[in-house]
Amino acid sequence: MTVLQTYFRILRFSRPYWKHITTSVGCTILYSVFSGASIYLFIPLLDVLFHPEKISEQGAAQGAGQGGALPAGLTDAATSLKQWFLALVFSGSQLDSLFRICVVILVAFFLKNLFGYVQSYLMNYAEEGVVKDIRDSLYRHLHELPLAYFSNERTGGLISRIVNDVAVINGGISASFVTLVKEPLLIIVFLGIALTLSWKLTLISVLVFPFSLSIISWIAIKLHRERGVSQERLADITSVIQETVSGVKVVKAFGMEEFENKKFMAFTKRYFSSVIKITRIRDLASPTTEILSVAAGAVIIWYGGQQVLIDKSLKASEFLGFLFIIFQIMPPIKELTNVNNRIQEASAAGRRIFDILDTEPSIRNRVGATILPEFTQSVEYRNVGFSYTGHESVLTGITIRIKKGSVVAIVGPSGSGKTTLVDLLPRFYDPSSGGVYIDGHDVRDLDVRSLREKIGIVTQETVLFNDTVRNNIAYGLDACPLDAIMAAAKAANAHEFIMAMPLQYESVIGERGVKLSGGERQRLSLARAILKNPPILILDEATSSLDTGSEILVQEAIDHLMTGRTSIVIAHRLSTVQHADMIIVLERGAIVETGTHQTLIGDSKGLYKKLYDLQFRA
């Protein structure tokens, strides 16, 4: 995708704000007109101060004589307007003329600033709206992407794109709707006025443009490349911060503060170097343009001075007014020289954003997906195979039938594919071969939301949010009554410690539940699953990281949660699955044994027996 294609794609997000943008452009036109008028009015002001005689006829005649560079129709219109204005200003005494011109100047500046304010407000509204919509689209799309995507991406890099890259885009939007409209209009207005005064001086003043544009184009090409490098390095910084803050306990436990400081400073130094290089390249455009403009200004002053002092073809007031106008053109020209830079920067950031938006979710509803109203019969794995990379198999030939209401335990050595097996049921991944079925429906044919509504998941790593206890238990339920929340907490053995907290159910538990112990966090997670009341329950080593006291409380809550539900339990501690209806033993992605605890323990050569003996050797 080229720079312009990326940039135009960014601009598509502005469609909902076309009314604001259109009105802003209209105000920009009026702002430009009154900007030119406010500067032009200094010419009659100088005449009033230094030519006390009435000169309306003389001014009109001179105005007609200087407009040869304009088309005939525009020349006549400009002459008529100028005659009317000079007749209005220079009628009466010199003090009357001075008063009128001061009033007109005041009105012109007032209207200029009024339209400038309205234009700025409306355009900022549209810009910030576009930024908000892009961020919303990114965030929404991230939720649609499968778990496999996040396994290959850095969390800090994703955060950087949502926060930093979108902010860079803001400058590119204003470049299109403000700078590319406002500045050319100002240049046109000022050049039009300049042409009515002296077309020769105007021609000299614009000769600098081709030189400026050629230099700025070269600068912009280099800037685009460096901006992409800079955004990548900023993403590195964000990633380091995210990882360090998340693992702060490990950093402190190993005394690695200075190590992390050095690593962080190395990344910030790289980013600093990149930003300085961008600044050096970008800031080269402005002084280059200004030097060329001042050089042209010196030539204009020399040539115009001759017309005033020697040729007498130009009045001194008109020459001074011409200088005011020409130097008013310089700021818009300097702004335009930065437009390409800002577009290049926005496009570089936009490419990183669209890399995410263009990633197609591999897990999505098929056309005509079936809504699963309720779970009534069984869960089946039919000859399931799975591979993350497409080459090395993680699961091979898995065939299981789990009846409704039964408890099935999955055990095996680390890396045998236990978690991957259960992740196929809620469609976190799709099998590479075979299929997973609920009540005879292939889960790939079911509506994803209706499927996951039937499944509750409690993992070893509890996921809690920096919110109140109440909102963590009733996650996503806006109007859930407190009585239901408390009942779920009691069933999870969490009510007692919650009531001991300062604000009880309104207590904020910190990021990832940092203010709670491991057992307390796990019980809140169980309470959340109990409140959801799913017919199918997945427990992924929910007690493996707990101490004995916490494990007893959590296990009691799990037993309560499993009552009347179809439960799939991944267990590291075999003592927790002895009462399962069926135990499935995995090794290297394949089922090597199935049966009850009593059956498997009786096979002295079986893997389950070996695992059991290793755990209970004492």
Query: Which residue in 451, 453, 405, 403 sits closest to 424, CA to CA?
Result: 451
Q: How many helices (H) and strands (E) does the chain have?
A: 25, 10
What is the model's pLDDT at position 57?
A: 46
Which residue is associated with the tokens 């097996």? 421
For helices 3-11 and 166-174, give the axis angle rounded to 10 degrees: 90
Residue 545 dihedral angles phi and psi, to the nearest 5°: -100, 15
Question: How many Cβ atoms are within 10 Å of 320's Cβ, its own excluded?
Answer: 15
Q: What single DSSP character describes residue 315?
A: -
Nearest to 236 by CA among 175, 357, 155, 174: 155
Beta bridge partners of 537: 456, 567
- pLDDT attached to residue 323: 76
- Tell me how far apart the terminal alpha carbons of the chain are, to the nearest angstrom: 65
pLDDT value of position 67: 44
- Cα distance between residue 151 and residue 141, in whole Å: 16
CA–chain centroid gap for 141, Å, is 11
Residue 108's beta-bridge partner residues? none
CB 507 within 8 A of CB 501: yes
377-454+536-618 fold: Rossmann fold (3.40.50)
Whether residue 151 contacts residue 429, with contact meaning beta carbons closer than 8 Å, is answered with: no
Tell me what pLDDT residue 64 has.
41
Q: What's the CA gap between 170 and 158, in Å, rounded?
A: 18
69-107 burial, b at 16+ Cβ within 10 Å, e below that, comes to bbeeeebeebbeebbebbeebbeeeeeebeebbeebbee
Which among 519, 573, 526 is positioned nearest to 550, based on CA atoms?
519
Angle 166-174/316-357 helices, nearest 10 degrees?
150
Inter-residue contact 288 to 220 (CB < 8 Å):
no
526 phi, psi to nearest 5 deg: -65, -40
Quick one: which of 33, 43, 30 has its CA closest to 316? 43
Alpha-carbon distance of 248 to 257, in angstroms, equals: 9
Quote the pLDDT of residue 210.
58
Q: How far is residue 593's CA from residue 407's CA, in Å, rounded to a whole number?
A: 16
Q: What is the pLDDT of residue 285?
A: 65
pLDDT of residue 383: 92
Instruction: Please answer whether residues 16 and 129 qualify as being in contact, where contact means their C-beta atoms are separated by less than 8 angstroms.
Output: yes
Q: Rounded CA gap, 415 and 427, in Å?
A: 20
Amino acid 510: pLDDT? 79
Query: What is the Cα–Cα distance from 406 to 304, expressed in whole angstroms?
Result: 98
All structural domains of the chain with their residue ranges: 3-54+92-357, 377-454+536-618, 459-533
Does the domain made of 3-54+92-357 have the CATH classification 3.10.20.30?
A: no
Q: d(Cα 331, Cα 64) in Å, to the nearest integer?
A: 29
CA distance linking residue 437 with residue 446, whole number of Å: 10
- Whether the CB-CB separation of 405 and 355 falls below 8 Å is answered with no
Domains 3-54+92-357 and 459-533 share a fold: no
Amino acid at 578: Q
Question: Which pLDDT score, from 0 to 100, does residue 352 have?
Answer: 83
pLDDT of 414 reads 81
Q: Are 273 and 321 in contact (CB under 8 A)?
A: no
The DSSP 8-state label assigned to residue 573 in this structure reads: S
Neighbours of 339 (CB within 10 A): 20
Of 540, 535, 532, 539, whose CA–CA distance to 565 is shortest? 535
Within 10 A of 199 (CB to CB), how many other CB atoms are there? Answer: 15
For residue 603, give both structure tokens: 């096979």
CB-count exposure of residue 175 (10 Å: 0-12, 13-18, 19+): buried
Beta-bridge mates of residue 587? 590
Would you state the pLDDT for residue 54?
44
Q: With 0.85 as the threshold, say if the pTM is over it.
A: no
Within 8 A by CB and 6+ apart from 471, the residues are: 465
Topology classification of domain 459-533: Rossmann fold (3.40.50)
Buried b (16+ CB within 10 A) or exposed e, 281-295: bbebbeebbbebbee
In contact, 365 and 430? CB cutoff 8 Å: no
Q: How many CB atoms lie within 10 A of CB 506?
A: 12
Tell me the one-letter amino acid at 91.
Answer: S
- pLDDT recorded at residue 411: 86
Q: What is the pLDDT of residue 376?
A: 86
Other CB atoms within a 10 A radius of the CB of residue 12 amount to: 8
- Edge to edge, the sheet with strand 441-442 lists 395-403, 378-386, 433-438, 441-442
Residue stretches of the chain with pLDDT short of 70: 1, 3, 46-94, 205-225, 227-228, 245-255, 285-286, 289-290, 292-294, 296-297, 334, 337-338, 390-391, 542-551, 554, 560, 575-576, 617-618
Residue pair 25/369 in contact by the 8 Å Cβ criterion: no
pLDDT of residue 515: 79
What's the one-letter identity of residue 41? L
Q: What is the pLDDT of residues 351-370, one digit of tens each?
A: 888 888 888 887 788 888 88
Distance (Å, whole) CA 240 – CA 260: 9
CB distance 303 to 204 below 8 Å: yes
Q: Do residues 543 and 558 touch, judged by C-beta distance below 8 A?
A: yes
Identify which of 225, 208, 363 has the alpha carbon closest to the alpha carbon of residue 289: 208
- For residue 456, the surrounding DSSP H or E stretch is strand 455-459
The torsion defined by the Cα of 130, 132, 134 and 138, in degrees rounded to 10, comes to: 180
Secondary element (H or E) of residue 395: strand 395-403
The token duo for 595 is 């049966």
pLDDT digits (tens, 9 = 90+) for 244-279: 766 666 666 666 778 778 888 888 888 888 888 877
